[in-house]
Structure 1
């Protein structure tokens, strides 16, 4: 009986050792790669992810495989970067980055390069210019405060409102000191919903971030009645955790995105709706 028990124990031990050996072999084979380094970058669908897709072959030539994760909002790309599930993200402007880092003390991020610019546009199906807007016109715009400092100066430049002196890019609705037409700026919605709101015919004018106008197939040339001046449009950035700013793969990513090949791609594909950062 003792011999039988010993035999069974030996058999179980042999099976366990074989399983461990098999698992070890599997782990070793899964780490066997082509030698290319991998970068995971989070981005908005349009134009950011499209620009990154165009950059993939150029990065592969440098021994880097680029994986693009597409996000539909402006919150998760930074949360995911913080959690180290991304190596970088590409979707935000300096004002938005600054605001997010101020509101989230655990966001230790830095910009490593400016890539392109997207002028915010004001769209209307009924009116051909801002000056045509009627008294009490309802203006729908993003609920992101960092956008307000870009939007309100467009109205001020056209003479529809006057802002408190010196507020500049930090302008908020409460900084409006003169509003002769009593324009209604009280309707604020998520930026990703602006194109849908416009297509539904809501409001007299809708202020849409260019990436969401492109993604929502809004006819920019037909319905755009006013835009930021190119001299004040902030650049869209590649952002990383501060600890990663000197990584060679990150430097290669920025170099490719700022290359003539990618700049030409941006200018040709978006016909001026998106411009390159200088």
Structure 2
């Protein structure tokens, strides 16, 4: 009888031990799998937010084992701050020049590019004039008030033959760096996002394509002059960005590959009439 009781106790002990081991293995395995495939929060704005909302639910994302949550933050600086602080893992909205300007102004909140996505030509728009050479003396030009887009806009005005910039003009250049202004243009600084709304109140407005699309404008059709795709505009190529400490995160890098999936690109080209020109280049190309 004693032997029977001992055998029963032994069997129960073995079952309990096996159960504990199996439970630990299951828990550990589940945790490991979750750690390998965490949910990535992608912060964006405007049409880029719409694109990443589409990408997040795509079959291509599932094939790469990516779980994506999108977050919309309308202000670019706030979005970069959120990325640096970790409430956003990766953001998708800015050019390489904008990133460089942000890093220069925020030495304690450094970000890094993960890869290139597209170039949207910056456009010069006017409700009053249909050609660049028809813009009169003393015309008022509305230009973005953030450093990166201010410089980009001035370079575009120079390409259009309206002004001439100083030889040492840099990524954070502004209207003080104008060397020649033969038409005596007047400059009005505006918030980037208000471009389409002020189009009726000034002579000329420089509008980024993301904002233009939201205002039902197509840079290829509605602008009177826009950036050409060449090496001089490579700092204006858009990127995916993350906190500098995460620049080697392999799951984050997969987002770059995901963006360039042919099916995803077909959707983007169809949705935005070709105005988001795909750029698949190594990061070294931007420098």
TM over 0.5: yes
Shift of 1:269: 2.1
Partner of 1:6: none
168 and 248 in structure 1: CA distance in 2 versus 1, 3 angstrom threshold: closer
Question: Where does structure 1 lack aligned partners over 5 or more consecutive residues?
Answer: 1-27
| 112-121 vs 247-256, greater mean Cα deviation | 247-256
Cα deviation, 1:33-65, whole Å, max 9, x if unaligned, reads x9553110101121x122212322221222222
Residue 85 of structure 2 is aligned to residue 86 of structure 1: no
Aligned-partner Cα distance in 2 for 1:138–1:223:
19
Match for 1:152 among 154, 157, 161? 154
- The equivalent position to 2:128 in structure 1, one of 126, 132, 156, is 126
1:227 aligned onto 2:240? no
After TM superposition, where is structure 1 displaced by more than 6 Å over at least 4 residues in a row? Answer: none
Q: Which digits, 9 at most, give the CA deviation of each residue in 1:45-99, with x for residues without a partner?
A: 21x1222123222212222221111121211111111221111111111111111
Partner of 1:203: 202
- Where 1:230 maps in the other structure, the secondary structure is coil
Counterpart in the other structure of 2:6: none
* Structure 1 segment 20-99 matched on structure 2, within 5 A: 35=34, 37-46=38-47, 48-56=48-56, 57=58, 58-99=60-101
- 1:246 is aligned to 248
Distance 1:264 1:166 in 2: 40
Question: In the TM superposition, what whole-angstrom CA distance separates every residue of 1:161-210 from its partner, at most 9, and x where no partner exists?
Answer: 1111242555421121211110112x101111122212xx1110111111
Shift of 1:246: 2.2
The total of aligned residue pairs comes to 245
Q: Distance in 2 between matches of 1:180 and 1:246?
A: 48
* Deviation of 1:260 (Å): 2.2
Match of 1:23 in 2: none
Give, in whole Å, the separation in 1 of the partners of 2:117 and 2:129.
Answer: 33
Q: Give 5+ residue unaligned stretches, structure 2.
A: 1-26, 281-287
Separation in structure 1 between the aligned mates of residue 202 and residue 107 of structure 2, nearest angstrom: 36
Corresponding residue number in structure 2 for 1:181: 183
